[in-house]
Amino acid sequence: MAWWALGLLAFATLLGALAADPRAVAALQRAKAKKWYKRLTGYSQTTILDVSAWYRTIELHRHDAEVLVVGAQLDSGAYVQGDLFTYSVASREDEHRDLVLTAPIELRTADGVTHTLDVKYSVISARHIVRLDVTPVQPEPADEPKG
């Protein structure tokens, strides 16, 4: 009776190690683009995921962009824009999330006047955000030496 318990424990340990291996996670992410994976699991881009729209939009370009420029339309009519420093990755889309922008930060008031804020960081609460714009900025190509 103890042998099957030991075998089950060993199997669970191996399965846990495999699930935590970054190579296995990366392979699973690559497999999601394959037709056989979609047929087998029924996965599609329209599948409802338990992640926020902020997370999906920002993480889409986070690793291939030098910087992400984020603009937020506020409920007051103002628009604030700056480089993304960090953001709340909570999957629940409520007013308790926030994002942090870093300089250069520009604020366009509801009457259209633009101000450059003389601050290093600005924290924007989701409670006041009506729309969020994300623009990936690609790194400048390195100049090849002429020779």
Phi-psi region of 42 (alpha: psi -120 to 50; beta: other; left: phi over 0): left
What local confidence, expressed as pLDDT, does residue 45 receive? 65
What local confidence, expressed as pLDDT, does residue 19 receive? 81
Level-2 CATH architecture, domain 53-137:
Roll (2.30)
What local confidence, expressed as pLDDT, does residue 106 receive? 93
- Size of the chain, expressed as the number of residues it contains: 147
What local confidence, expressed as pLDDT, does residue 143 receive? 64
The two three-digit tokens of residue 83, written as one number: 């480089």
Cα(131)–Cα(99) distance, integer angstroms: 13
What are the residue boundaries of the structural domains of the chain, listed by start?
2-41, 53-137
- Per run of 10 residues, the mean pLDDT along the chain (length 147 residues) is 84 86 80 76 67 79 82 92 85 77 91 90 89 83 62
